[in-house]
Structure 1
Amino acid sequence: MNRMRWFLMAVLLISAAAAEENLVSNPGFEEAGDNGLPLRWGGPSSIYHRDTSVARSGEASLKYRNDDISHYALCPQGVTLEPGRIYALSAWVKTEGVVGEDSGASICLEWWDEDRGYIGGSYPKGVKGDTDWTLIEGVSARIPKEAKHFGLMCYLRKGMTGTAWWDDVALVVAREDPMRSVLVVPNYRGEVADDGPAKAVVRVVLHLTDYADLDPAGLALAWTLRPEGGEAAAHGKQTGLASTAIDLEIPVGDLPHGVYDLEVALVEPSGEVIATEHHRLRRIAAHPPRKVYVDAHNRVIVNGEPFFPLGMYWSSITADELAVYADSPFNCLMPYGRPEAEAMDLCHANDLKVLYSIKDYFHSTKYCPQSIKTEADEHEAVLEKYEAFHDHPALLGWYINDELPLSMLDRLAARQRLMEELDPQHPTWVVLYQVDQVAQYIPTFDVIGTDPYPIPSKPVGMAAEWTRKTRDAVMGARPVWQVPQVFSWANYKKTEAEKNECRPPTFDEMRSMIWQCIAEGANGIVCYSWFDIRRDKVRTFDETWPLVKRIAAEVAGVIPALLSIEETPEVACEAGDWLSWTVKQRGDTTYLIAVNADREPHEAILR
């Protein structure tokens, strides 16, 4: 059986360039303009020019040549886009000697407001080194209504040098898949035991903005349950959909034990299937005793008690640094350095939980150990760490992906299934910067996080926006452990000029971002990063650490309320999008958490 049957297949349906008008003028650079540039393309002619000696198709391409790391220039073209639409961008790119820390030669699409203020963009990963013609592709978010100006750019990422060519650039209208679905019950690993739940619930959301000819009332949702390798065991259909958000209830309590594929299809009146998605169910007799797992309320349960992860990213663990860290409200850490037994014991002795990183164990990826060259090597490396630490009392979970691309979906989902089979005792955690693609990654994690780092160049409200997007992508049915910024981007810049443009976030900014995440539904906070605040040259560790500890103490002080599942009173709110808020109830106390995610003061009414 095709293993992709086990994946949630939530994708964007991209209209083919042949079927949609290419919005790029002179996309193959065949027409010559002034100063050696292609017609209708901009940029400095000292770096970019039309090249008739190299082409993927036709007679010309766009060439970039630059050896000065301080030069950062784009080759732009203004385009006309329609707010409310999604766009697919693509180009063929060839490189020669492209070097630098970033991803290389690529394209991007950006949009600005009436005053040319930046709003957003789409930035596909590029290529570097020596490569033949490679297709670079990306899909934009839905263009916001306030966007008035738009630009498509060919460019090399900042801090990179070398030679690159572009050809056959395309920008076309795309269409979102008309259906997205998430298995919301059960919310953890698709597990259904004899004691429940009796019904699985698949939350289906129809996205018909790009399908004017589809009316929900005329559509149907059909579902089929198939045991692994077998024929249909049960099926059903819901017709006359009353809305674009439907909870599809599917009886599962009487199913024989085993693994099942749950197929959900959106069907037209003619019987034509418009879209299909798949979910994995495991029908088991009972849950074994588990050290760490996710409950039905998206709380992580550790040794039988609810736990709110409050931690930081680390590199390697040393006894001296851990002693400083342990004298704080933080209760966990995520060390990139893959600690050995002595360090794990030290964490346990300090009552600290560890999110153990095996995220680099994918051959041919940037940080993969050189000893791992095949999938068999990957499996052996994962198994070694599992055998070493799955019984260790400090282990909170496995960190299995740090921003790896969607092109690796098959491998990432296979890694998730491997961890489910190896270790029913601990969940997995994944962190992405690809906030608009979280839904596609659902088959690859138990717990998700995204990492908004806006300071100093973007709005501080990015923390709330990304948390909200992440929560909505999983439809509130997976834990969200967010990664807010406490570091300065200067630590990652190469030139003094670039470093001088950066600064660490202020106390108020850090506090706002962390509470924004919580107010928007985060079930855990893991700040980035301990090692960055220790090496900051602008604000010393001794200055930053008390500020971070102070915020952590605020959060730790209300963790019992954050973990509470008691019914909350109804609260009405009159405020704009600048406000992030939530309500919690614990005993006789009602907790209202409200955060202004804007830099300007505002008034809100909550009653």
Structure 2
Amino acid sequence: MNIRRLFFLMIWWTGALSFGIELKDCKVLSENQTVSLNQVLNPAFDEGNGGIHWNLGAEAEISAAYGSNQRGLGIRRTDPGRYSVSTQKMKLKPGTKYIAGCRIRNEGFDPKDGKGGSFGIEWYRGSSHISSAYCNSIGNHDWKLYTREFTTGNDPDLEYVFVIFVGKGKLGTAAYDDVFVREAGAVWLPVLISPFNAVMRSGNGKIEISSNILGTYRYPGSVKAVHVCCAVLKNNGRQIAMQTVPVKNDRAFFDFGTLADGEYELDLYLLDAVNKLRLADRKALHFLVMNPRDYVSRPVYIDEHGRMIVKGKPFLPLGLYAGGTNAEDLAFWEKSPFNFVMPYGGPKLKYPGEWKKDDDTGNLHRALDRLHRSGLGFACNLIASYPNLKYILANWDGTRVRGINAVVDAISDTVKDHPAMLVYYTCDELPAKRGPEIEARRLQLRRRDPRHPSMAAYFQYPDLPYYGNGQDIIGLIFYPVVGPKSNSMELILSNLEAARRVLSDRNGNMSVWAIGQAFNWGSYVPDRNRFENDYRFPTRDELTAMSVLAAIEGVKGFLFYSYHTLRYVRGCLNENEKLIEFCDTWPAVCSMGKTIRELEHYILSTRKAPKADIKVLKGKIRAKAFLSEDGKSLRLLVAGVGPGPAEALLSIPGWSDLSSLTGKSLKRPDGRYHFHGKDICYDILKSE
């Protein structure tokens, strides 16, 4: 018997531990037999005067003319300046997958635009908007069913609103009938959260799974279910081990002993150990085992603390979205605190005056050389590497390489050995149903280039379990400041709390970056009056407060949207006005970046800091202490979430002599610090 065979037999025997139940003894659960109730009241607009239970917008009309059988809701718009929304509030179960839908009839809409009537679900905590999911009907047509799946947040106090509207500026008539919101049935979405980037050192075999059940499994049973997770480990398609472990606090921990180098895959099964039912399965979760020397010699990787390691050292990514690059841009970036860029030009990036036709490889290398000489890393944008998008990466180097997968391989071969290469940016807000495609792209890149991680960005925080296995780093999008009344960053807190439930390991670490706001929503509005009255740029303090809150909640990197908007998207401004605005806003963005860069050694430190003692007097406040790696200095980060006043008394055991960066924290005679702020605010208390 050879050594490798003996090695796998040892794993088999040590991994055959069970939880008193075997996979073969469990009956497969059939589809849910009960259809949940419609959560929408008066869904066909037929009760009473037709509008009961609905808050009808100014354009809405209830009439048989708009119904598919009896009455329906209609919106007929002839004035592009009008806009209104019809709504119905509802309470939904937390952490549950739902399907929202209705039938829509469109007529008179511009066929070039393609969109007609719309509907969606918005959710709120108090008056703060948390998230939303919308569905746009397409084209002019008779009655047609449209649906939109969404997942509720885990907070039971969230309020949900069904909204019906025709998009701003669109002309035409939309009719709605048979509105519904129903549970979609239970879904099990396990996520491999440790190792973070699905790469571990040989000699290890510890796996941590996040077990996420959206909805409720319904089946007759006299005994309360006890969930366990069975994992079948395979190598080269051959089963080498099986373990069944309890699921506790939505986590399952496996230890497969000592694994040799190679690629492995897990088949996972969710079982009810008491009623002996196989509730769900997830096949083929891939991970790679590398020898320790190769593991640490990679130029860029994510370590067990969720940190990016570059050339063997912890690295705090602080990046900017950009359109392309030129000499002026490089001059601004070189003098800024930012250390990488994510150009939307991506692999087709060209530096002015240095590009050649049908030479994508050479053009990209020359542009990367420019970035590297300026001390900047490169996030390789691959968001166009999926079919059925407006723009796709269909060819490379003219027509020498064709087809998306072949082009992705060619791009990876082009960038993987360049010193500017930092990370693959593989997805930007694709819907959850495309999760399998995102996972396939990650696997392709890891096989082609295991020396660089992948990241993807999402705003759909309730759907995070669908995306959990699609990248090494998840970027969560936060753009909470819209207009004069924007006074809360509850959106950031809610998103990161949701991420922690799905993605944090047993030590509280996550491989998560913040996709932060560094733009004015009004930049995309051509109407000058609306730009000046309805929108605003975040203040310098708000920019920093948003990043401080993200650091408190555990992010290990930052990418800001967007330099391109700051510098080039004019909206209603002329070129000179845009340049003046940029000269005002760019210094504020750089000031924020400088503050965060000064926190780098604290955010990335693995030294455990003492827990801050916090007594909240007003508002919602988050605070956390960070120690330097040598334990000699400390930073206490404080953030007022808003809205309204924020006050708290703060202290750190063993650290009594702290100075306030913003002046918002005053030391009291009893040694505690009195933090006070309003709306979106922050402070940093320093030990020296």
TM-score w.r.t. the length of structure 2 is 0.74
> Aligned pair 1:498/2:537, yes or no?
no
CA shift in 2, pair 1:456/1:321, >3 Å: same
Deviation at 1:69, TM superposition (A): 3.2
Q: Is the 8 A contact 1:318 1:343 kept in 2?
A: no
* Paired letter, 1:108: G
Deviation at 1:540, TM superposition (A): 1.1
Q: Aligned partners of 1:554, 1:151: CA distance in 2, in Å?
A: 38
Q: Is the 8 A contact 2:32 2:217 kept in 1?
A: no
Deviations 1:475-495 (A, max 9, x none): 255421111112110012243
Deviation at 1:497, TM superposition (A): 4.5
CA shift in 2, pair 1:399/1:51, >3 Å: farther
Q: Is the 8 A contact 1:51 1:63 kept in 2?
A: no
Write the mapping of 1:276-425 to structure 2, written as runs, cut at 5 A: 276-278=281-283, 279-284=285-290, 287=294, 289-338=297-346, 339=349, 340-368=364-392, 377-425=403-451
Write the mapping of 1:525-544 to structure 2, written as runs, cut at 5 A: 525-534=558-567, 535=569, 537=573, 540-544=581-585
Q: Is the 8 A contact 1:102 1:159 kept in 2?
A: no
The aligned length equals 579
Q: Is the 8 A contact 2:189 2:466 kept in 1?
A: no
Match of 1:24 among 11, 29, 40: 40
Q: Is the 8 A contact 1:461 1:578 kept in 2?
A: no
Q: Is the 8 A contact 2:518 2:561 kept in 1?
A: yes
Match of 1:601 among 633, 638, 646: 646
CA shift in 2, pair 1:211/1:84, >3 Å: farther
Q: Aligned partners of 1:543, 1:53: CA distance in 2, in Å?
A: 51
CA shift in 2, pair 1:120/1:16, >3 Å: farther
* Paired letter, 1:515: V
Q: Is the 8 A contact 1:313 1:335 kept in 2?
A: yes
Q: Aligned partners of 1:146, 1:245: CA distance in 2, in Å?
A: 21
Question: Which has the larger Rg?
Answer: 2
* Paired letter, 2:241: A
Q: Aligned partners of 1:101, 1:564: CA distance in 2, in Å?
A: 51
Match of 2:264 among 259, 266, 269: 259
TM-score w.r.t. the length of structure 1 is 0.83
* Paired letter, 2:208: V
Match of 1:557 in 2: 598
* Paired letter, 2:427: N
Q: Aligned partners of 1:126, 1:526: CA distance in 2, in Å?
A: 29
Moved more, 571-580 or 335-344: 571-580
* Paired letter, 2:86: C
Q: Aligned partners of 1:308, 1:32: CA distance in 2, in Å?
A: 58
RMSD in angstroms over aligned alpha carbons? 3.7
CA shift in 2, pair 1:67/1:319, >3 Å: farther
CA shift in 2, pair 1:334/1:273, >3 Å: same
Match of 1:581 in 2: 624
Deviations 1:293-320 (A, max 9, x none): 1111111111222211012111111111
Match of 1:91 among 87, 90, 102: 102
CA shift in 2, pair 1:42/1:237, >3 Å: closer
Partner of 1:443, secondary structure, is coil
CA shift in 2, pair 1:231/1:103, >3 Å: farther
Q: Is the 8 A contact 1:74 1:153 kept in 2?
A: yes
> Aligned pair 1:592/2:636, yes or no?
yes
Deviation at 1:512, TM superposition (A): 0.6
Q: Aligned partners of 1:464, 1:217: CA distance in 2, in Å?
A: 34
Unaligned runs of 5+ in 2: 1-28, 350-363, 653-688
CA shift in 2, pair 1:217/1:44, >3 Å: closer
Q: Is the 8 A contact 1:312 1:333 kept in 2?
A: yes
> Aligned pair 1:105/2:117, yes or no?
yes
Partner of 1:233, secondary structure, is strand
> Aligned pair 1:66/2:77, yes or no?
yes
Q: Is the 8 A contact 2:518 2:562 kept in 1?
A: yes
Q: Aligned partners of 1:45, 1:552: CA distance in 2, in Å?
A: 45
* Paired letter, 2:232: L
Deviation at 1:260, TM superposition (A): 2.0
Unaligned runs of 5+ in 1: 1-12
CA shift in 2, pair 1:73/1:328, >3 Å: same
Deviation at 1:428, TM superposition (A): 0.9
Moved more, 506-515 or 595-604: 595-604
> Aligned pair 1:510/2:543, yes or no?
yes
Deviation at 1:468, TM superposition (A): 3.2
Deviations 1:36-67 (A, max 9, x none): x7776554575655465884xx4665444335
Identity rate of aligned residues, in percent?
A: 22
Moved more, 180-189 or 311-320: 180-189
CA shift in 2, pair 1:313/1:99, >3 Å: farther
> Aligned pair 1:485/2:498, yes or no?
no
* Paired letter, 2:119: I
Q: Aligned partners of 2:279, 2:33: CA distance in 1, in Å?
A: 21
CA shift in 2, pair 1:488/1:101, >3 Å: farther
Match of 2:491 in 1: 462
CA shift in 2, pair 1:24/1:497, >3 Å: farther
Deviation at 1:255, TM superposition (A): 6.3
Deviations 1:384-440 (A, max 9, x none): 322322222111111111111112122222111111122112111111111221221
* Paired letter, 2:420: A
Q: Is the 8 A contact 1:93 1:136 kept in 2?
A: no
